[in-house]
Structure 1
Amino acid sequence: MVDSISFVEVWKTYERELGSVSQPALRGVTFSVRQGETLGLIGANGAGKSTCIRLIMDFIRPSQGVITLNGRSPDKSSLRHDIGYLPEIASFPASLTILDMLRFVGAAHDLPKTVLAEQSERWLRALELWDARKRPIRTYSKGMQQRASFVLALVHDPSLLILDEPMSGLDPIGRASIGRLIQDLKGQGKTILFCTHILEDVDRLADRLLILHKGEKRFEGTPSELSMAFGTTSIVDGFLHAIEVTQS
């Protein structure tokens, strides 16, 4: 079976102004996400999480190494139909409604109008936005805007979901709602990679986790394997050991 996401010895170094080279953001990172699996990507600020997501989304290219998504290079245009992307911070035009945004997304994915209408209603109702569908998104609360971003990521029925801080800025009720959604998507067989600072969400939602620190992979495995590797009883303690044990 082809992995949904595969990184093999991936390096990424950004150039500074005037051509000077900065420290690598990723240093020979290798990991995979199997079809139907949920992987939690965690690390401190500057660990390389955002770089991984930008590489997956083909916003940037690797300096070295090989990345494949469903067996294809991220630059293949056909992959856009396979991927649903939730950015950490979504920017919505001031006057547009969620229906306006869905029309744009539907056109980008060549969805027939009947399919777009059916899928839009399905997800707007599921995420409790149906009654607010004609309101400008800028009038939504933070939690509503996050749910709107999920609708836009899901309307074309992607097999692979890339979620950047899906719980960011949400209150406990909002976190619980998004957590249930991710569980439902797992149950539908979606492959999910989500990046988060909330380690308890990884323990609750992820099949496996990937810990990055200063651009290097420090651990890849299940939460229970993390506990066994470092003799800890919580994912927080395991994470702290993972970034300290081999830290120079």
Structure 2
Amino acid sequence: MWCTGLRKRYGKRTAVDGVSLEVGRGEVVGLLGPNGAGKTTVIKMLLGLVRPDAGEVMLLGRPATEPAARARVGYLPELFRYQPWLSATEVLELHVRLSGTDMPAEERRDALALVGLADRAGDRVGGFSKGMQQRLGLAVALVARPECVVLDEPTSALDPLGRVDVRDIVLSLKARGIAVLLNSHLIGEVERVCDRVVILDRGRVAASGSLLELLGQHEVRLRLTGVPPAAESRLATAGPVHREGEWFTVALPVDDAATVPDLVADLAALGVRVHAVEPGRISLEERLLGILRDGSEERP
């Protein structure tokens, strides 16, 4: 899945402005951003559900405007409803026919089992909880043996066990070489399964890259006493320092494995008493909030 320069306006409001991204085979890319950032609009343009005002989209090597390009794409929308009088099996059968895929009954049963609905296959969808309907939606997204899957808030309404199930499914799709674009507000889930992340803010790409590139730093917390000015200077050479009483937090380059032992040795040589050394890492949530706050400061 690939797009460049996507733009979309609704009246005087610009919903998406110059968005470019790509998802390779066997790769999971997370789409993050606050409400109203343009994430769902981007997804709809990628899938041909909304016509962009500018830009280009390619799906599996074909222009997204061609229906054949979407034949091997699975999609779980954020908001959906199925006919309440149909059973889970009948909903799946309907979407198999719509996709034009020859999917045996055994494979359809396996799809329901994969999302934890094997024992509710014959029950009417109208009696399903929101979480069960979410599981059924995920099964529907996988019926056409897709090569690319777009999941818009797949863990919405799911309990912790359901979220773990979705995580395992996403990782299994990745292992099979399937491209996955994942839009989720659950940043911890994104951090666990995604290879790369695209952060949208006010319709634009605020940041993108691998988790290593985006996080870029890890932290070390040191409890120190007897810290002379020379030791404070040595701490500052390692990275930005934040102090709270006896605790010093230093943001370090992620690829410098020798920094911490060298730093501790130098501090000890300067007469500092080192009581504790605790490794840490800047989380994706902290990085996301930092990017969005920086963006808000730049806005008029």
Q: TM-score, normalised by structure 1?
A: 0.90
Of the candidates 267, 274, 293, which is equivalent to residue 244 of structure 1? Answer: 293
1:187 correspondence with 2:175: yes
Using a 3 Å threshold, how does the CA distance of structure 1 residues 66 and 80 change in structure 2: closer, same or farther? closer
Q: Displacement of 1:170 after TM fit?
A: 1.4
Using a 3 Å threshold, how does the CA distance of structure 1 residues 145 and 239 change in structure 2: closer, same or farther? same
Match of 1:106 in 2: 96
Of the candidates 3, 7, 10, which is equivalent to residue 3 of structure 2? Answer: 7
Give matches, 1:37-48, under 5 Å: 37-48=27-38
* Aligned counterparts of 1:202 and 1:126: Cα–Cα separation in 2: 20
* Aligned counterparts of 1:133 and 1:213: Cα–Cα separation in 2: 40
**Same amino acid, percent of matched pairs:** 32
- Mapped contact 1:119–1:156 kept (Cα < 8 A): no
* Aligned counterparts of 2:25 and 2:162: Cα–Cα separation in 1: 27
Q: Displacement of 1:245 after TM fit?
A: 2.2
Question: Bigger shift: 57-66 or 124-133?
Answer: 124-133
Match of 1:120 in 2: 108
* Aligned counterparts of 1:227 and 1:27: Cα–Cα separation in 2: 25
Q: Displacement of 1:97 after TM fit?
A: 0.7
- Mapped contact 1:116–1:155 kept (Cα < 8 A): no
- Mapped contact 2:88–2:124 kept (Cα < 8 A): yes
Letter in 2 for 1:150: L
1:175 correspondence with 2:177: no
**3-state DSSP class of the match of 1:75?**
coil
Match of 1:162 in 2: 150
Q: Displacement of 1:66 after TM fit?
A: 1.1
**3-state DSSP class of the match of 1:13?**
strand
Q: Displacement of 1:90 after TM fit?
A: 2.2
Higher Cα radius of gyration: 2
Of the candidates 40, 52, 59, which is equivalent to residue 49 of structure 2? Answer: 59
Letter in 1 for 2:71: H
Q: How many residues align?
A: 236
- Mapped contact 1:80–1:109 kept (Cα < 8 A): no
**3-state DSSP class of the match of 2:164?**
helix
Structure 2 runs not aligned, ≥5 long: 219-250, 252-280
**3-state DSSP class of the match of 1:149?**
helix
**Cα offsets for 1:92-125 (capped at 9, x unmatched):** 112111121122112112223xx33132022122
**3-state DSSP class of the match of 1:25?**
strand
Q: TM-score, normalised by structure 2?
A: 0.75
* Aligned counterparts of 1:223 and 1:111: Cα–Cα separation in 2: 36
Q: Displacement of 1:135 after TM fit?
A: 0.5
- Mapped contact 2:217–2:282 kept (Cα < 8 A): no
Which fold has the larger relative contact order, with Cα–Cα distance below 8 Å and residues 6 or more apart in sequence?
A: 1
